[in-house]
Amino acid sequence: MEEKEEILFSTDENRFRAALQDFLHRMNAKELEREIYERDSYPRALYKRLGEAGFLAQVLPPEYGGRGSLTCEAILTEELGAACVPLAWIHSTSSYVYATISRFGTEEQKERFLGPMRMGMKTGAIAITEPDAGSDVMRIRTRAELKGNGYEIRGEKRNITNGSKADVLLVWAITDPQVEPARGMSAFIVEPCERKGFEVIEDYKLLGGFPGTVNSHIQFDGLSVPRENLLGKVNEGVRILFDELAIERVLYAAMLVGEARPVVELAADYSMEREQFGTPISRFEAVSFKLADMVTKLEAARLMVYHTTRLIDAGYTAEKESAMSKLLASEAFFESAHNTLQILGGRGLSEYPAEWAFRMARLSMIPAGTNEIMRYIVQREIYKAKAKARKRRKS
């Protein structure tokens, strides 16, 4: 471990990262990633091994087996992204679920769901997006109607990563259609497995195939959910939603930083080995300057990620910072993948992992909120802070 890492992270955080890296190396995670890529298999068993080894759910409070640290959760996400991308995607969607339950769930909900998720026995997914409600989450139409001792959910969700595979879904639905969605939306913990009223319309493969994961279009047709599965208070789903999105975006950004690391290493190694005109291409500034830009922007994104997790760990909402993290990380990843493809030339167009990384990097600008929405959030928060400052000066 570099000395700089010892300065940026605490002793406990560095030990956790080192133990995780050792575990992933011993399980041959990079080789398993290649197998998943070739077979398009869903690595549920590998995910369970992470739980059994005690690496999952670091964000949970100590009484539920975690460290109470979003920073350690981001370390886990980053290292999984670097070691085995499909495994990282299972973890990412699951982490959003257990982090949100730990922050808003009742003690009974925490007892019921956090243990199995921490052990990797249950995976999770976030169900927000709908066919007509993507960036504009206030347009969701899914309804949850109180009937007897539970709610009946009706509606569709689309572009749900791991939606058909997850054991636990967090579903946002309108519970009071008489008011604006911001005041009439609620969140529910849903266990869809073999439940009447839950249907997978279709599982999609993205950008020509994204091995090891699925992107689901799901439908609820009178799915019955017990009243005790309401997360937080009724009609307060928007508060939970924005909190979840801040955590989702920074953890997603951490995963992208991890995914970009081996891509940058590939470019550096190849440029040192490949010779043209009698010299390694690393000696050409057209190549080496690309690498300099890649490393600079990736490191900036990484620092932004951990700045944001520490803010959230300290109790701040960090909505602006989480948007900045996702924006920086996805664009750094895309530039790294693009430049690596250019450095590898013809080989990069046909060989794993360069061509796969390029597709993943392009995809990364859309999930967890498009990069256009990230820019909107950042500028909104800037002007909001300016307006508050002016108001204070005038008073």
Q: Quick check: helix, strand or coil at residue 10?
A: coil
The CATH 1.20.140.10 domain(s) of the chain lie at 239-394
DSSP 324: H
CA–CA separation, 228 and 279 (whole Å): 68
Q: How many CA atoms lie within 13 A of 343 on its CB side?
A: 34
CA–CA separation, 190 and 163 (whole Å): 11
Mean pLDDT by 10 residues, the chain (395 residues): 75 96 95 88 92 98 97 98 94 97 97 97 96 90 94 96 95 96 96 87 81 91 96 97 97 98 95 94 96 97 98 96 98 97 89 86 94 97 94 88
The CATH 1.10.540.10 domain(s) of the chain lie at 3-122
CA–CA separation, 234 and 293 (whole Å): 48
Find out whether 29 and 81 touch, Cβ atoms under 8 Å: no
Q: Which of 14-20's residues contact partners 24+ apart within 8 Å by CB, and which partners?
A: 16/58, 16/67, 16/72, 16/75, 16/76, 17/75, 17/79, 19/55, 20/55, 20/75, 20/76, 20/79
CA–CA separation, 173 and 180 (whole Å): 13
* Contacts with 348 (C-beta within 8 Å, 6 or more apart), sequence order: 340, 341, 342, 354, 355, 358
Packed helices 70-83 and 29-39: angle between N→C axes, nearest 10 degrees: 60
What's the pLDDT at 83?
96
CA–CA separation, 330 and 343 (whole Å): 20
Nearest CA to 97 among 225, 229, 206?
229
Is the sign of the CA dihedral 163, 309, 237, 133 positive or negative? Answer: negative
Q: Quick check: helix, strand or coil at residue 321?
A: helix
What's the pLDDT at 209?
62
> How are beta strands 275-276 and 279-280 bridged, if at all?
antiparallel
DSSP string, 52-91: HTT-S-TTS-GGGTS-S-HHHHHHHHHHHHHH-HHHHHHH
Neighbouring C-beta atoms of residue 103, cutoff 10 Å: 17
Q: Quick check: helix, strand or coil at residue 298?
A: helix
CA–CA separation, 63 and 231 (whole Å): 20
Q: How is domain 239-394 classified at the CATH fold level?
A: Butyryl-CoA Dehydrogenase, subunit A; domain 3 (1.20.140)
Q: Quick check: helix, strand or coil at residue 154?
A: strand
65-98 pLDDT, tens digit each: 999 999 999 999 999 999 999 999 999 999 999 9
Which of these CATH numbers, 3.40.190.10, 1.10.540.10, 3.40.1080.10, 3.90.1150.10, describes 3-122? 1.10.540.10
Q: Which CATH class is domain 126-235?
A: mainly beta
User: Per the structure block, which two tokens stand in for 32?
Assistant: 């398993």
Residues in the chain: 395
CA–CA separation, 175 and 186 (whole Å): 6
User: Per the structure block, which two tokens stand in for 303?
Assistant: 């620092």
- H or E segment at 238? helix 237-273
CA separation (Å) from 204 to 200, 211, 309, 355? 11, 11, 32, 20
Q: Where are the alpha helices (DSSP H) in 176-236?
A: 181-184
Q: Quick check: helix, strand or coil at residue 305?
A: helix
Find out whether 261 and 82 touch, Cβ atoms under 8 Å: yes
106-165 pLDDT, tens digit each: 999 999 999 999 999 999 999 999 999 988 889 999 999 999 899 999 999 999 999 999
What's the pLDDT at 2?
61
The CATH 2.40.110.10 domain(s) of the chain lie at 126-235
β-bridge partners, 187: 172, 231
